Amino acid sequence: MLILGIESSCDETAAAVLRDGHALLSNVINSQVALHSAYGGVVPELASRKHLENIYPVVEAALRQAGVSLAEIEGIAVTQGPGLIGSLLIGLSFAKTISAVQGIPYVGVDHIVGHLLSPFLEEEKPEFPYVALIASGGHSSLFLVQDALTFIPLGRTRDDAAGEAFDKVGKILGLPYPGGPAISRLAREGNPGAFSFPRAWLEADSLDFSFSGLKTAVAGQVYQLQQKGEPFSAADICASFQEAVVEVLAEKAIRAAQGHGIANLTLAGGVAANPRLREYLKLRGTENGLKVFMPSPEFCTDNAAMIALAGHFHFGECATTSLDTDAYSRSQFIHPGTPGSRHSYGPAWQRSRP
Ligand code: KG4
Ligand code: ZN
C-alpha cells in the first residue's frame, strides 16, 4: 500500500511517502525554527499561518521526491493530535480534502503513537512486546507496547518534559532555541562531573519522571556564579545537566523493562536525537541484557515518516477515520495519567471498520 504521511502538530510541516510499511520513498520536513527562535519558543498563531503556506509545497515535494503522483496514493495518514490545535487543523484539513477529492481513505494518527512506532523505520526492527521511552518537547513517558495498537502507560513526567527542560536550560544560558541540540553540541566540550545536579529518582518503585527541580538547580547555580562574577564554563553546565537527564531517563527505562520481564527496549522522541542519551542507553541496556532499538536522529524529531508508518499499521487493521473527526490538543487514546491501565488505541476509528 502506498501511504502519504502528513505531520503538522507543532512547528514542523512534514510529508512522507511510504510503500508497504518498509520502503520510505521520501521524507520532507520544513522546520519553522528560524521563525520562532526570535521569541524563544513556538508562537501558536505564527505556526499555524506558516503551516498554511507550507503544506501544499511540502506535500508536492514529498510526492515529487518519491516519484509518484497523487493519483497513485492509496491512503493518507495524518497527525490528529496531540499538539497545537491551529497547527493540527492545517494538516488534518489538507488530508481530509485529498481523501474526499481522490476518493481514498485517510486515518488520524496520534503523534505519540507515531513516536512509539518510529523504531520500525529502521532495518533492524524491535519485536513486540517492548518497553518504549518517549522523550520529547511535550512528553517524557514510559510505555509497554504490546502490539502496534496497544500501549500500557508505565510512567510519565510529573512536571516538565525532558525536552522542555533542555529548552529552558538553553534559555537560562542564552543559547539559541531550541536548547536541546545547542546543549548537546556544547556538552561535548564540557565535563559532566563539573557540577553535581540533582537526579529525581522519586519513590523506589516509581517509573515517573520529574525535571523541574533539576532545571531550578541549574538556574540557581548559574545565578550564583553570575552574582559572584566568577567566570564559568557553559559547556560544563551543559554536560553536567545533560548527564543528570540522561542518567534518570535511561536507568528508569531499563528498570521498567526489567520489572516487566521485557527484553526489548526502544527510545524515541526529539530528545532521542541526543548522542549522549543514545550512547548511554545502548551501553547500559546491553550490560543489563536488553536489546536496545532507536530510530536514526532524523526520525527522532518530528517527521511524517513515523506518521505514515503508524498509518500502515492502522490500515492493516482496516482502520479509517471519518471526515467529521476533529483534531485534539491532548491525547485521547493514550492516558499517561493512569499508569498500569491498559489502553487499546483508536476506539474512534475502530467503530468505522467495515
Ligand atoms: O519530538 P519533537 O521534535 O517534538 C515534540 O513532539 O515535542 O521534540 C522536540 C524536543 C525539543 O525540546 C528539543 O530541544 C529536543 O526535542 N531535542 C533535543 C535534541 N534534539 C532535539 N534534546 C536534547 N538533545 C538533542 N540533540
Ligand atoms: Zn514529537
Q: pLDDT tens digits, residue range 94-107?
A: 999 999 999 999 99
Contact (Cβ atoms closer than 8 angstroms) between residue 107 and residue 314:
yes
pLDDT tens-place values along the chain, 354 residues long = 999 999 999 999 999 999 999 999 999 999 999 999 888 889 999 999 999 999 999 999 999 999 999 999 999 999 999 999 999 999 999 999 999 999 999 999 999 999 999 999 999 999 999 999 999 998 899 999 999 988 888 999 999 999 999 999 999 999 999 999 999 999 999 999 999 999 999 999 999 999 999 999 999 999 999 999 988 999 999 999 999 999 999 999 999 999 999 999 999 999 999 999 999 999 999 999 999 999 999 999 999 999 999 999 999 887 788 899 999 998 765 554 444 444 455 534 433 333
Decide: 200 and 227 in contact? Cβ < 8 Å. Answer: no
Q: Which of helix, strand or coil describes residue 72?
A: helix
* Angle, helix 234-259 to helix 275-287, in steps of 10 degrees: 40
Query: Ligand 1 atom closest to Cα of 83?
Result: 6
- Predicted confidence at residue 337, as pLDDT, reads 41
Q: What is the pLDDT of residue 263?
A: 98
214, amino acid identity: L
Which residue in this structure is represented by grid cell 522546520?
31
| 1, 258, 304, 333 from 35: Cα distances, Å | 36, 43, 20, 32
Backbone angles phi, psi at 204, to 5 degrees: -50, -40
Ligand 2 mean position, distance from CA 121 (Å): 15
Contacts of 139 (CB under 8 A, 6+ apart): 112, 115, 156, 157, 161, 269, 336
Nearest CA to 10 out of 53, 39, 41 is that of 41
Torsions phi, psi for 130 (to 5 deg): -140, 155
Name every protein residue with a CB atom under 6 angstroms from any ligand 1 atom. 10, 136-138, 163, 166-167, 178-181, 184, 269-271, 273-274, 301-302
pTM exceeding 0.85: yes
Of the listed ligands, the closest to the CA of 176 is 1
Query: What 3-state DSSP class applies to 158?
Result: coil
Biggest alpha carbon distance in the chain? 70
Instruction: Give the mutation target among 271, 279, 296 for probing the ligand 1 site: most ligand atoms within 8 A of CB.
Output: 271
* Count of all residues that appear for the chain in the document: 354
The string of pLDDT tens digits covering residues 223-263 is 999 999 988 999 999 999 999 999 999 999 999 999 999 99
Tell me the ligand closest to 12's alpha carbon: 1
203 CA distance to ligand 1 middle (Å) = 27
Give the whole-angstrom CA distance, residue 234 versus residue 313: 44
In 3D space, the residue among 203, 209, 87 whose CA is nearest the CA of residue 139 turns out to be: 209
- Determine how β-strand 150-156 pairs with β-strand 140-147: antiparallel
Alpha helices (H) along the chain: 33-37, 44-66, 85-102, 111-117, 162-172, 179-187, 212-228, 234-259, 275-287, 305-316, 347-350
Q: What pLDDT does 106 receive? A: 95
Closest ligand by atom to 168 CA? 1
Ligand 1 pocket: which of 166, 185, 214 to mutate (most atoms within 8 A of CB): 166
